[in-house]
Chains A and B, each alone.
Chain A
Amino acid sequence: MVRLIRSSLARIFLALMVFVALTPILWTILGAFKRLKDIVTPVPKLFFSPTLENFVTILQNPSIRQGLGHSVIVVGASVIIGALLGVPAAYSLARHVRTLKGDLQFFVLSLRFMPPVAIAIPFIVLYLDLGLYDTLAGLILVYLVTTISTVIWLSVPAFERVPKEIEEAAAMEGCGPGEIFLKFSLPIAMPSLFGALVFTFVLVWNELLLALTLAAGNATLPVVAASITSLGKEVPWGVINASTVILVIPPLVFIGLLMSFINGMMKPARR
């Protein structure tokens, strides 16, 4: 009996935690379809006549449209360049480097210790002198630190899991190292590599500080969203909710992928 009560209490508690995890997000989505008079009520409203006004306001707002465009360009370019430079480096690190491997990996990880402000401030001055301040190219260049290092860090284990026998067999057939990499290792490791790229994408898509300091004139979406609070006199909560929803959609699309990525990362431990 005590057991039964305890387990049902545990279940209620877990249901509550799922509620805590999801309600804030769902509530914001709901708020995005509300008129301001439905938001500013003493008792929160669950039922109301939905409106698309907020999304119309947002999509007609030129700075948000530009922000979306800038985000796509900056994030796309930095992730693609990061992949082109990072994936081959990760492969060589996983397969060909012996003595320096630990040191190189620690170097890559230690870049993550660097406070973003410490990166931003010298680059402000440098970019002002070079004329790169407020340009997307400058922002992409700085984002490469994040993308290359994250891609390398996450791809090394992906390549280590490629069966060595396949590569050895290919080498026996007379394939060069480049050919082995492109024809065998890369396709086999592709599913895990894709997860690594998605993770990298989410990191730079969400980035605020560097975008705010280095390219406020060509703002990316997080910067635009962060500045909406001061739009007009009263706080436009409906509009803020709608822009939050737009900001959230791209990363949330990848939730299933993140799940399978975690599952894949855990697998070798089972052996």
Chain B
Amino acid sequence: MNNRRFLFWTLTPGFAVLAILALISIAGALYFSVMDRSLRYPDYHFAGLYNYQRLLSDRRFLNALQISATWEIVTVVGSLVVATLLSVLIFETVKSFWIRNLICFAFLAPVLLPRVAAAFIWRFLYSPSLGLINYLVGLTGLGPVEFLADPSLALMSVAIVDIWQWGLFFTVIMLKLLETLPRDPIEAAQLDNARTWEIHAFVTLPMLKAPIISLALVKAVESLRSFDLIYVMTGGGPGTATETLDLYAYQAGINLGGRISYASAMSILLLVLTTIVFTLIWRGIRKWSV
């Protein structure tokens, strides 16, 4: 009996708070999404699926959807590619324990920065008139590049900051994973005269398939929280070139007259979409990695 009481008192408070807060936000968003509530007026009425219908013909929403998808793919793939290449490179060339540790420290620093701070740091670097990067670009003879004001470059410029933070962080984790692998299969491949890149492409990386997939999943979830970075660096601009779904929902729900209901409908769609996509990926992974 004592055991059960212990179990009850340790589990219930934490999970109750989590469940209540999660329930409030989901139920609240669902409720407001079928109303026509706006912060400007105190009263509101039932509006049915009106908000959802409008969303589907809202070109700014469809644009945001596309940008969010691009953002997800670029940052996830970019971080993993950077991490794979760099970690293998370090694993192969740096044998000294101390230098490896120093490199790891350097690579861990960016991810610890608050997103707001990282955004400011890079806005400063990207600045066309006084930025370090444009100075280097200027040395090669090209004119100043408007990294953040050029619609075709802005999203990629912001994505580079994200990859700077997460790609280098994942490099450290992948390096640690490589170090934990047993040596025998690598040595066997070396005896077979396999080249270094072949060893990694066909032996070590396949052995790390499961952890790499979970890293991809972690990154995909984290990439959904791109708001801070984009908000400070471009504010969704120029135009709507970097406006992801959460930025548009923020603009619609809070900044532009507080169309709470419209923004709620948007966040519900976002929630449904991510849940479906992640559940599918989750299942696919489990089938595939067995």
Is the beta-carbon distance between B260 and A117 smaller than 8 angstroms?
no
Interface-located stretch among A49-57, A88-96, A161-169, A187-195: A88-96
Which residues of chain B come closer than 8 Å to A254, judged between CB atoms?
112
A123 interface hit (Cβ, 8 Å): yes
Is the beta-carbon distance between A123 and B28 smaller than 8 angstroms?
yes
B17 interface hit (Cβ, 8 Å): yes
Which residues of chain A come closer than 8 Å to B132, judged between CB atoms?
23, 27, 44
Which residues of chain B come closer than 8 Å to A91, judged between CB atoms?
10
How far, in angstroms, from A18 to B275 measured CA to CA in the complex?
37
Is the beta-carbon distance between B3 and A114 smaller than 8 angstroms?
no
Is the beta-carbon distance between A263 and B176 smaller than 8 angstroms?
yes
Is the beta-carbon distance between B93 and A11 smaller than 8 angstroms?
yes
How far, in angstroms, from A252 to B245 measured CA to CA in the complex?
30
How far, in angstroms, from A124 to B9 measured CA to CA in the complex?
31
A25 interface hit (Cβ, 8 Å): yes
How far, in angstroms, from A57 to B81 measured CA to CA in the complex?
42
Which residues of chain A come closer than 8 Å to B224, judged between CB atoms?
113, 115
Which residues of chain A come closer than 8 Å to B76, judged between CB atoms?
none
Is the beta-carbon distance between B124 and A240 smaller than 8 angstroms?
yes
CB-CB contacts below 8 Å: B159-212 with A: 164, 168, 172-173, 176-177, 179-180
0/1 interface trace, chain B 227-256, chain A, CB 8 Å (1 if under): 110011000000000000110011001100
0/1 interface trace, chain A 114-138, chain B, CB 8 Å (1 if under): 1111111111111010000000000
B50 interface hit (Cβ, 8 Å): no
Is the beta-carbon distance between A222 and B106 smaller than 8 angstroms?
no
B267 interface hit (Cβ, 8 Å): yes
Which residues of chain A come closer than 8 Å to B37, judged between CB atoms?
125
Is the beta-carbon distance between B172 and A116 smaller than 8 angstroms?
no
B77 interface hit (Cβ, 8 Å): no
CB distance from B181 to the nearest CB of A (A): 9
A172 interface hit (Cβ, 8 Å): no
B interface secondary structure, majority: helix
Is the beta-carbon distance between B264 and A121 smaller than 8 angstroms?
yes
B49 interface hit (Cβ, 8 Å): no
Is the beta-carbon distance between A10 and B112 smaller than 8 angstroms?
no
Is the beta-carbon distance between A255 and B112 smaller than 8 angstroms?
yes
Is the beta-carbon distance between B263 and A117 smaller than 8 angstroms?
yes
Interface-located stretch among B52-60, B115-123, B147-155: B115-123
Q: Which residue of B lies closest to A252 (CB)?
A: B112
Q: Give the size category of A's interface with B.
A: 35 or more
CB-CB contacts below 8 Å: B1-56 with A: 2-3, 6-7, 9-11, 13-15, 17-18, 21-22, 24-29, 31-32, 37, 39
Which residues of chain B come closer than 8 Å to A110, judged between CB atoms?
275
Is the beta-carbon distance between B18 and A266 smaller than 8 angstroms?
no
Is the beta-carbon distance between A85 and B125 smaller than 8 angstroms?
no
Q: Which residue of B lies closest to A19 (CB)?
A: B106
Is the beta-carbon distance between B180 and A266 smaller than 8 angstroms?
yes
Which residues of chain B come closer than 8 Å to A124, judged between CB atoms?
39, 253-254, 260
A48 interface hit (Cβ, 8 Å): no
CB distance from A229 to the nearest CB of B (A): 8
Is the beta-carbon distance between B109 and A22 smaller than 8 angstroms?
yes
A213 interface hit (Cβ, 8 Å): yes
CB distance from A222 to the nearest CB of B (A): 4
Which residues of chain A come closer than 8 Å to B130, judged between CB atoms?
39-41, 44, 237
Is the beta-carbon distance between A145 and B278 smaller than 8 angstroms?
no
How far, in angstroms, from A176 to B7 measured CA to CA in the complex?
12
Is the beta-carbon distance between B168 and A21 smaller than 8 angstroms?
yes
What are 27 A-B contacts defined by CB distance under 8 Å? A21-B164, A24-B121, A25-B110, A89-B11, A89-B14, A89-B15, A96-B6, A115-B270, A117-B250, A118-B29, A121-B253, A121-B264, A124-B39, A141-B21, A176-B6, A206-B114, A208-B115, A222-B116, A225-B120, A237-B124, A240-B120, A240-B124, A248-B114, A251-B114, A266-B179, A269-B180, A270-B180
**Could you list which residues of chain A lie within 8 angstroms of chain B, going by C-beta atoms?**
7, 10-11, 13-14, 17-18, 20-25, 27-28, 31, 39-41, 43-44, 85-86, 88-89, 91-93, 96-97, 104, 107-108, 110-126, 128, 141-142, 144-145, 148-149, 152, 176-178, 181, 202, 205-209, 213, 222, 225-226, 237, 240-241, 244, 247-248, 251-252, 254-256, 258-259, 262-263, 266, 269-270
Give the top 10 A-B pairs by smallest Cβ distance, nearest first.
A122-B28, A118-B267, A88-B10, A89-B14, A206-B114, A85-B14, A177-B6, A208-B228, A92-B10, A117-B249
